[in-house]
Amino acid sequence: MFSEEVKEITKLYPGLTYTQNGEKGLLQGLFKFCALYDSIEDRFVLNPLLNDTDDRIIQDSYEIEVMFSPDDSCLLPEVREVGGRIQKIIDKFNISDPRELHINKNQNSTICLCPKPELFLRYPDSVDLVDFFNALVLPYFYGLSYFERYKEWPRGSYGHGDIGIFEFYSEHRDKAAVD
């Protein structure tokens, strides 16, 4: 099953390649996408029909690496932008705290894709890599490109750390009830 997920990801995002790094799997390379955020349906559309008048369509690419454990699909993948693009955005907007762009400086500059409770709700038993890319990685990088263009996130964003967790629980009380 795992190898099928990797094949699907490299088909959807052909700039990425898979290698084994010790006990970890590594998807790395150029993450190219063309996407659109549909705010009415609150969803991202991969490879929408291009329409020159729709400025929500973003075509972009980032050098990334995604490390995960092929043997333990319960462990969450770690995503990093490794091409220096995030640093350029930080410099462009004179951002003093990288957490504004959802970067975990205390965790080797991994990207915070969403609050941890959302990850645990989305993947209670195992991580589906295809869903992980389409539901979290793509929206993050689309949002970052949107931020670079408009200096705002396309669908807002949670605060970082505990604040983001509280905001998530506040919005999702019915789904995120603690037993």
Tens of pLDDT, residue by residue over 87-102, are 999 999 999 988 889 8
Tens of pLDDT, residue by residue over 144-163, are 999 999 999 887 555 555 55
pLDDT of residue 72: 58
Residues in the chain with pLDDT values less than 50: 166, 168-169, 176-179
Q: Which residue, 100, 104, 106, 105, is CA-closest to 158? A: 100
As a dihedral over the C-alpha atoms of residue 21, residue 17, residue 153, residue 60, rounded to 10 degrees, the angle is: 150
pLDDT of residue 127: 86
